[in-house]
Amino acid sequence: MRAVVKWGVLTCLLLAGNSWATGKHLRLFESGKEGYPRYRIPSLVVMKSGALLAVCEGRADGGGLTGNVDLVCKRSTDNGRTWSALAQVADFGKDTVGNQAVLIDATTGVVWIAHTISPGDELEVAITRGETRRSTRVYVTHSRDEGKTWSPPLDITAKVKRPGWTWYGCGPGVGLQLKNGRLFFPCYHAEGEKGQTYRSHAIFSDDHGKTWQLGGSAGRLNGESQALQRRDGSIYLNARTSGKGPLAKSIVESRDNGQTWTAKKIDRALYDPPCQASLLKLPPADGRPRWIFCHPAGPGRRNLTIRLSVDEGRTWTGGSLLLRKGDSQYSSMALLSNGRMGVLYDCWEDNNYQIHFTTVASREVRQGVVGFRHGPFTK
C-alpha cells in the first residue's frame, strides 16, 4: 500500500487530435493508457479553489470489480481545458479498491473520499453471499492540498458496517455537506440470507472527518445511490433499484439528517436500466430550485440524458437534454467556477470502457428548456 501519493508535474494538454471529435466530449481516462487497461466509475468535484478533481477506478487486471483495482485521479485548474497526468489515490496491492464517493468540506477545504476494499481474489457474487474468508471493508482517505497528495486510507469498518452485512458500496459518485456541517456519504450494503437484500444507508461525520458514524438503513432492493438536501433540510436519496425490482428509481427521504428514512417509493418518471445515476443542485433561477438528474434514458444503458426538476426532485418535468447517443453508463456532475456544469461519465467505446468529460451551459437550464447548449468548455 502506498501511504502518500505525490502529484506528477506533467500537465497533459488534451486539446489536440480527435479528443473532441465526437460531440465535443473529451476522453479523459482512456483505457489502455497511463498504466491501466481499464477505467470505470467516475466521480467529479470542484474544490474550494475552483480546481476540478476527477476520480475513478483504475482496473489493473482489465476486468470488472474484482482483482487488482486502484483509485486514481486527475486535476484541472482551468475548468477542464487541460488536465494533469494520472495519479494514484489508493493502492492495496492485489485487492480491489473502489466504489468511491467524494466530497469537499466547505469549512476546511479538505477533500474526503469514502471507498471500499474487497479481496481481489474473490468475485463480487461470492462476497455478497458471505462465502469468502474476507469481506468488503470501508475506508476514508483525504487530501489537504486539493488532491496533490493523499493520506493513508483509514479503516472505519467497525464504525459503519454491521455484522451480517457482506458487500458494501459508497455512492458511487459524490457525497455532500449538509446545512449543519455534517459530511454525508450515501452508501448501500447487502444483508440477509446469502446477501439477497440490498439496502441504502448513510455514513457521516460531525467533526470534519475525525470520527465517522452509521445512519439508518432504508428501503429494500436499493443499490447505488446519490443524495441532495432540500431547502427545508430534508434529504432526498435516489437509488438504483436492484434485483427484480421495476425499471425505475427507488426514492427515500430523511428528515433527521440520515438517522432514519421514510418508506421507499418508486419514481416511474425516472427510468433505471438498472444503473447508477447522478444528481446536482444548481443555483435557483427565478426563485425556483434547479436540480439536475443524469442517467441512461434507455433502452438499457444507452442515451445519457440530463433532466431538470424545479421542485427539488418531486417531479422531473422541467426539460431534458440528450448528452450522448448510444452506450452510456455511470456519471457524476459538478458546477464549475465558470458557471457551467461539468459531466464525467463512462461508456463502452472501442471495445472497452472509457471515461469522458464534457460541459453544459448551466445558465440555460431553466423550466421549459429542452435543448441546452453543451460543449467541452467555455471561458
Give the Å distances, CA to CA, from 9 to 6, 75, 83: 9, 11, 11
pLDDT tens sequence across 242-295: 888 799 999 999 999 999 999 999 999 999 999 999 999 999 988 999 999 999
Residue 364: the pLDDT is: 65
Residue 366: the pLDDT is: 61
* Residue 94 CB neighbour total at 10 angstroms: 13
Mean pLDDT of 169-186: 98
pLDDT at 211 over 50: yes
d(CA 342, CA 46): 9
CB-neighbour burial class of residue 131 (10 A; exposed 0-12, middle 13-18, buried 19+):
middle
d(CA 115, CA 237): 19
CB under 8 Å to 21, separation ≥6 — which residues? none
Query: Which grid coordinates belong to 312?
Result: 427539488
pLDDT tens sequence across 289-305: 999 999 999 999 999 99
SS3 267: strand
CB-neighbour burial class of residue 208 (10 A; exposed 0-12, middle 13-18, buried 19+):
middle
d(CA 342, CA 378): 11
Separate counts of helices (H) and strands (E) for the chain:
2, 29
Give whichever of 21-25, 214-218, 318-322 has the largest mean pLDDT. Answer: 214-218
Give the containing element (helix H, strand E) for 367: none
d(CA 323, CA 238): 20
Pairing type for strands 374-375 and 176-177 reads unpaired
What average pLDDT does the chain have?
90
Q: What does the CA dihedral 187, 192, 196, 202 come to, rounded to 10 degrees?
A: -10
Check residues 226 and 363 and name the one with the higher pLDDT.
226
- Class of the domain covering 24-367: mainly beta
d(CA 107, CA 38): 35
Look at residues 66, 70, 45 and name the one whose alpha carbon lies nearest to residue 56.
Answer: 70
Give the Å distances, CA to CA, from 337 to 74, 75, 123, 212, 331: 17, 14, 41, 30, 19
Task: State the residue for C-alpha cell 438503513.
Answer: 217
pLDDT at 67 over 80: yes
Domain coordinates in residue numbering, the chain: 24-367
Contact 292, 282 (CB under 8 A): yes
d(CA 295, CA 222): 16
Residue 23: the pLDDT is: 37
d(CA 352, CA 311): 38
